[in-house]
């Protein structure tokens, strides 16, 4: 009889990869807070200097078209740059960043640069009028990036990126790892690696059981579970069962009505059933192995951990050998 390696449904989430854990960003130290405030003031001063330097040039270029209201153009454009830059940072902090929004301050800055350099005829004047607005946009992008990175530390819904070195060393396998992470919503990089490793072991188990044509011989459920990344290696299931049994099977358990139920049977109590399993396996032409023992005992309603199965197996080999010799 084939041994199933599909994990029990109620334990599946313990076996497969988990999502990224939520981790609150650490508090800034006093020195870091001073540095942040200082950088903010410098960026603000940079924006004010850029506005002052561009005001006269833009106003002069707008006079033929706006007349007495020419002064509103540089003020309006610079206020729009500051407003949309602030909105981008705010949305980044709220986790609702709109990628296309960054194009607004970029476009307005490009317009400001063009209006500044429109009347210039030499390279120095063009660069001088373009450098401050360009630095302002870069500073805003850096701030928005820092806010996004710090905010993502406290979000469990963000998918961790795969490091560049892995893409370089193994691009094909890394692509499939990334693809499965997206399809299976595995947001933690470490969990994705564990899940990929479990998938490889599960595939090896299928190949060992069904041979090279395992995709045709495996059961439909096993193929579906494997495709969904929920087919777990045998050894991993045994380890979880052993740990679970140690946690939930004390000497006595309490039932719903408050009565004390009998604990799990001892090895001595399992020997008679184990001997029946050994005889059954012998009739079927199968070896008395740990995996076969666990499977047959489970069919009889008795679950075994790896350690208990090993102990029972050693005892059965002695008992079964004695029975055969006597026969």
Q: For the ranges 3-12, 203-212, 239-248, 274-283, which has the lowest average pLDDT?
A: 3-12
pLDDT at 15 over 60: no
Helix pair angle (171-183, 189-210), 10° resolution: 100
pLDDT at position 309 is 78
Q: For the ranges 5-19, 78-92, 98-112, 235-249, which has the lowest average pLDDT?
A: 5-19
pLDDT digits (tens, 9 = 90+) for 100-152: 887 887 888 788 778 777 766 778 877 877 787 778 778 877 877 777 777 66
Q: Which residues contact 29 (CB under 8 A, 6 or more apart)?
A: none
Confidence of residue 168 (pLDDT cuts 50, 70, 90): very high
CA distance 261 to 251: 9
pLDDT at position 25 is 63
- Range 44-82 burial, b when 16+ CB lie within 10 A, else e: eebbeebbebbbebbbebbeeeeeeebeebbeebbebbb
More reliable by pLDDT, 103 or 232: 103
Could you tell me the pTM of the whole model?
0.42
- Pick the closest to residue 202 from 237, 165, 173, 248 (CA basis): 237
More reliable by pLDDT, 91 or 97: 91
pLDDT at position 4 is 42
pLDDT digits (tens, 9 = 90+) for 243-280: 444 444 444 445 555 555 455 677 777 888 888 888 88
pLDDT digits (tens, 9 = 90+) for 273-317: 888 888 888 888 888 787 778 888 877 777 777 777 778 888 877
Q: For the ranges 76-85, 204-213, 248-257, 297-306, which has the lowest average pLDDT?
A: 248-257
pLDDT at 322 over 70: no
More reliable by pLDDT, 11 or 116: 116
CA distance 152 to 47: 28
């Amino acid at each position: 009889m084939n041994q199933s390696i599909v994990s029990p449904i109620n334990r599946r989430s313990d076996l497969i990869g988990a999502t990224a854990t939520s981790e609150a960003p650490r508090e800034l130290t006093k020195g870091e807070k001073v540095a942040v405030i200082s950088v903010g003031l410098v960026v603000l001063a940079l924006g004010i200097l850029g506005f002052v330097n561009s005001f006269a040039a833009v106003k002069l270029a707008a006079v033929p078209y706006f007349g007495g209201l020419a002064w509103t153009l540089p003020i309006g454009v610079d206020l729009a740059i500051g407003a949309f830059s602030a909105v981008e940072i705010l949305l980044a902090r709220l986790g609702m960043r709109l990628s296309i929004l960054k194009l607004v301050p970029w476009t307005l800055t490009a317009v400001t640069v063009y209006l500044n350099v429109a009347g210039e005829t030499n390279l120095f004047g063009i660069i001088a009028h373009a450098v401050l607005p360009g630095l302002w946009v870069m500073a805003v992008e850096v701030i928005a990036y820092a806010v996004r990175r710090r905010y993502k530390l406290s979000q469990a819904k963000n998918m961790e990126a795969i490091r560049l070195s892995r893409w370089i060393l193994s691009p094909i396998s890394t692509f499939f790892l990334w693809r499965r992470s997206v399809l299976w919503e595995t947001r933690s990089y470490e969990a994705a690696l564990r899940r990929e490793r479990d998938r490889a072991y599960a595939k090896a188990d299928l190949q060992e059981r069904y041979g090279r044509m395992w995709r045709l011989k495996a059961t439909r459920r096993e193929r579906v579970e494997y495709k969904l990344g929920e087919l777990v290696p045998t050894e991993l299931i045994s380890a979880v069962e052993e740990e679970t049994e140690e946690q939930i099977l004390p000497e006595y358990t309490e039932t719903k009505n408050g009565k004390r139920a009998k604990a799990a049977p001892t090895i001595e109590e399992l020997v008679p059933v184990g001997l029946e399993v050994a005889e059954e396996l012998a009739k079927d032409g199968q070896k008395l192995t740990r995996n076969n023992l666990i499977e047959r005992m489970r069919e009889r309603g008795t679950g075994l951990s790896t350690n208990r199965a090993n102990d029972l197996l050693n005892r059965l080999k002695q008992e079964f050998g004695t029975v055969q010799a006597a026969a």
